[in-house]
Structure 1
Amino acid sequence: MTETPMTTERLAEIRSLDLLSVMQFSVAPVVSGALADLIAEIDRLAAQRKFLLGQLAKRDAESGGEAVGRFFGGEQSIAEAESARPAPSESLTVYRASHDSIVMGLYTTREAAREHCEAYVRREIPGAAVDWIEDEDDGVDELAAAFGEDERSTGHTVMALEVAARYDSEADE
């Protein structure tokens, strides 16, 4: 999986997305809500990062400048650590957990999306054995539940979605 750096500009771009113009009317509010949750998590992590870098700077000052170098495995200042960002990538893969086309959540790993679906099914159908059926043709994983020999689809699916880092005008045609 590739990572896209969350720059201030990229976050502003995401916050200003008009999903109704690019998605079906019934899906846009659900995806918009999930996106809002992801943005809130990014904000929380950014605040936590700022706090931790502040703590590191404090320890660095107390230790005579050695804490940052030890933390980052080399001679690096707080300013260098703050400005260090990975190179932009072409896309990011997220995993959508859904039930009968209703989006339950978006996750950065397939395992987390599957865990959400399984937890729901285990609450709704206690004692059922669950198994994932992977369809390599369409890339959708379908959750099935079984009692004895009778196995049926639960309607829960996990699908990998590719999120582009930037607009490609040639791919739009």
Structure 2
Amino acid sequence: MNGPEHYRAAERLLIESRDILRPNDEGPCEADRTIAEAQVHATLALAAATGAAPAETAPAAVYVYRAAWGMTPLGTYTNAEAARKHCEADVLNHDADAGGGTFEWFGDESEPDDPSELLIQKNGAESTTDYTVTRIEVAAEYDPEADA
């Protein structure tokens, strides 16, 4: 059956259920079964009308965030905040001059795949650190055309 046929069947069954009397309200009777069957047909008609067939959807993009010092990767994380914390801890552990400064991340919000760079502000001066966090898209499958 297609959508319009299910709709007509639902209408017919509802009309038939009006003609069936329920004796003494003693539990389910033929009218109840007929109404339930009509509901099924109405649901199928609605599904057909709205195109409720499962549609192919592209998988959502998945990203990871790489913390790095220059060309040296420090770690890969599922969120940017964790990658930033790693960079900040690493600069404090390896740069005695960084203590007492405040950290600021510099990056272009309109270009989320461009690296964000860690800057240190200390004694009114701002300096670069070579620490970066880069968003990387994780592919679900190999795309040979991407290499072409």
With normalisation by structure 1, the TM-score equals: 0.46
Aligned pairs for 1:18-37 (under 5 A) are: none
Q: Aligned AA for 1:116?
A: H
Match of 1:110 in 2: 80
Inter-partner Cα distance in structure 1 for 2:58 and 2:92? 39
Inter-partner Cα distance in structure 2 for 1:115 and 1:165? 27
Report if the CA contact (8 A) 1:90-1:164 is conserved.
Answer: no
- The alpha carbon displacement at 1:88 in A equals 8.3
Q: Aligned AA for 2:83?
A: A
- The alpha carbon displacement at 1:128 in A equals 1.2
Q: Aligned AA for 1:105?
A: G
**1:76-128 residue CA offsets vs partner (Å, 9 max, x unmatched):** xxxxxxxxxxx983642110000011000000000100010111223332111
Aligned pairs for 1:95-134 (under 5 A) are: 95-123=65-93, 124=95, 125-134=98-107
- Asked if 1:167 corresponds to 2:137, the answer is no
Match of 1:13 in 2: none
Structure 2: tracts of 5 or more residues without a match: 1-56
Match of 1:93 in 2: 63
The alpha-carbon distance between structure 1 residues 90 and 167, as it changes in their structure 2 partners (threshold 3 A), is: farther
Task: State the SS of the aligned residue for 1:170.
Answer: helix
Inter-partner Cα distance in structure 2 for 1:164 and 1:122? 34
Aligned pairs for 1:1-173 (under 5 A) are: 89=59, 91-123=61-93, 124=95, 125-135=98-108, 136-137=110-111, 139-173=114-148
Identity rate, percent: 40
Of stretches 110-119 and 136-145 in structure 1, the one that deviates more from structure 2 is 136-145
Q: Aligned AA for 2:81?
A: E
Task: State the SS of the aligned residue for 1:139.
Answer: coil
Structure 1: tracts of 5 or more residues without a match: 1-86
Report if the CA contact (8 A) 1:142-1:158 is conserved.
Answer: yes
Match of 1:4 in 2: none
Inter-partner Cα distance in structure 1 for 2:64 and 2:58? 17
Match of 2:22 in 1: none
With normalisation by structure 2, the TM-score equals: 0.53
What is the aligned-residue RMSD (CA, Å)?
A: 2.1
Task: State the SS of the aligned residue for 2:88.
Answer: helix
Task: State the SS of the aligned residue for 2:84.
Answer: helix
